[in-house]
Amino acid sequence: MYADVVARRIENLSNMCDERARMLQDQFNVSTNHVHALAILVSTFHHGKNPSAIHQKTFEDFTARTTFERPLMSGVAYALKVLHSEREQFEQQHGWKIKKMEAGDQSLVHDYNPEKLEPSPVQDEYAPVIFSQETVKHIISIDMMSGKEDHDNILRSRATGRGALTSPFKLLKSNHLGVVLTFAVYKYDLPPNATPEERIHATLGYLGASFDVPSLVDKLLEQLASKQKIVVKLYDTTNHTSPIKMYGSDFSSSGDLQRISNIDFGDPTRKHEMHCRFKYEP
Ligand code: WA2
């Protein structure tokens, strides 16, 4: 029966789409947990010890050796909360100036040169990166509050005490769309009902991870059998009337069968969907 064949195709597509959505969600979840653990590591061994037991070299070694724990992250970094009144002392102590993030042409792969970045203009506060994984070393000394997506994410993570995820945007020194996940690091343990003001006051810094969507989703989908059969697209549907495509293989699809599987990346203010179709077979 024709109806039978159609029903089986629908079920088949649904199963494949759900499996992929679930895999991506699970890998994102384990990566998130490990980024959270890194925030606790910095709290314990950098802020909790005098002298600090973490510097760029230890951070680089540790994050390189634990990349397997963060399969969807292209790099992690730690930015410090620096008030304007502390800026001069901070810059003297580190031997470099806090730099401004440049959007547009500076972020193109070819001519990106952190040495040439401008000092950050005067602000109430800054979030200069002091430690980074080797893969994102180019963001050291950059004020992450000078980039809109990073800025909003920093404010939201510290006010809530939860992991915050940005909308998709073009990452520095990459031609790809990505998202950034941020956890705030606090001076002391805060009760779950702490107010945003108490949290902001107790904030010491921000542990962030970048997710280079196209390359890491490709890598994930390649591990699956029957990759050749379906076309997968990933959307940020937080704003339902204007979804943002984060990933889409550029094969043409066939037929009108489409399966939409939901994905939960752990930030309740963001919504994501995976859209799957059968690949066109001539
Ligand atoms: N990390 C890597 N590449 C980026 C980026 C970023 N943010 N922003 C733009 N391109 C240190 O939330 C604090 C990481 C930001 C954390």
Which candidate, 36, 44, 67, 42, places its Cα nearest to that of 56?
42
ipTM for the complex? 0.99
DSSP one-letter string for 130-157: EEE-GGGGGGBTBBGGGSHHHHHHHHHH
- What sign does the CA torsion over 80, 153, 161, 86 have? positive
User: What's the pLDDT band for 116 if we cut at 50, 70, 90?
Assistant: confident
- 270 CA from centroid of ligand 1 (Å): 18
- 251 CA from centroid of ligand 1 (Å): 31
Average pLDDT value over all residues in the chain:
93
**Residue of the CA atom closest to atom 6 of ligand 1:** 210
Please say whether the beta carbons of 211 and 244 come within 8 A: no
Beta-carbon-side half-sphere exposure of residue 176 (alpha carbons within 13 Å): 16
DSSP one-letter string for 171-233: PTT-SSEEEEEEEEEESSPPPTT--HHHHHHHEEEEEEEEEEHHHHHHHHHHTSTTGGGEEEE
Determine, yes or no, domain membership for 62: yes
Q: % helix / strand / coil in the chain, to the nearest 5?
A: 40, 25, 35
Determine, yes or no, domain membership for 27: no
Q: Note the pLDDT tens digit of each residue in 75-108.
A: 999 999 999 999 999 999 999 999 999 865 444 5
- What sign does the CA torsion over 260, 262, 265, 270 have? positive
- 103 CA from centroid of ligand 1 (Å): 13
**Residue of the CA atom closest to atom 12 of ligand 1:** 208
Question: Residues near 11 by Cβ (< 8 Å), separated by ≥ 6?
Answer: none
**What is the number of other CB atoms lying within 10 angstroms of the CB of residue 28?**
25
For ligand 1, say whether the CB of 38 is within 6 Å of any of its atoms: no
Nearest atom within ligand 1 for CA of residue 107: 10
Nearest atom within ligand 1 for CA of residue 144: 15
Determine, yes or no, domain membership for 75: yes
**Residue of the CA atom closest to atom 2 of ligand 1:** 210
Determine, yes or no, domain membership for 127: yes
What's the confidence (pLDDT) of residue 268?
Answer: 97
What's the confidence (pLDDT) of residue 227?
Answer: 63
What's the confidence (pLDDT) of residue 1?
Answer: 74
Determine, yes or no, domain membership for 113: yes
Determine, yes or no, domain membership for 272: no
Between CA 162 and CA 261, with CA 210 as vertex, the angle to 5 degrees is 75
- 21 CA from centroid of ligand 1 (Å): 25
What's the confidence (pLDDT) of residue 238?
Answer: 98
Determine, yes or no, domain membership for 80: yes
Q: Note the pLDDT tens digit of each residue in 5-54.
A: 999 999 999 999 999 999 999 999 999 999 999 999 999 999 999 999 99
For ligand 1, say whether the CB of 206 is within 6 Å of any of its atoms: yes
- What sign does the CA torsion over 220, 71, 234, 176 have? negative
Q: Domain with 208 in it: what CATH number?
A: 3.30.450.350
Instruction: For residue 111, give its domain range.
Output: 58-216
What's the confidence (pLDDT) of residue 249?
Answer: 75
Q: Note the pLDDT tens digit of each residue in 137-172.
A: 999 999 999 999 999 999 999 999 999 999 999 999
Question: Residues near 21 by Cβ (< 8 Å), separated by ≥ 6?
Answer: 261, 262, 263, 274
For ligand 1, say whether the CB of 177 is within 6 Å of any of its atoms: no
- 146 CA from centroid of ligand 1 (Å): 11
Segment 185-190 mean pLDDT: 96
What's the confidence (pLDDT) of residue 109?
Answer: 53
User: What's the pLDDT band for 256 if we cut at 50, 70, 90?
Assistant: confident
**Residue of the CA atom closest to atom 16 of ligand 1:** 208
Nearest atom within ligand 1 for CA of residue 74: 2
Determine, yes or no, domain membership for 11: no
pLDDT-wise least confident of 66-80, 105-119, 124-138, 230-244: 105-119
Please say whether the beta carbons of 139 and 111 come within 8 A: no
For ligand 1, say whether the CB of 208 is within 6 Å of any of its atoms: yes
- 136 CA from centroid of ligand 1 (Å): 8
Segment 251-271 mean pLDDT: 91
- What sign does the CA torsion over 193, 197, 203, 205 have? positive
* Total structural domains within the chain: 1
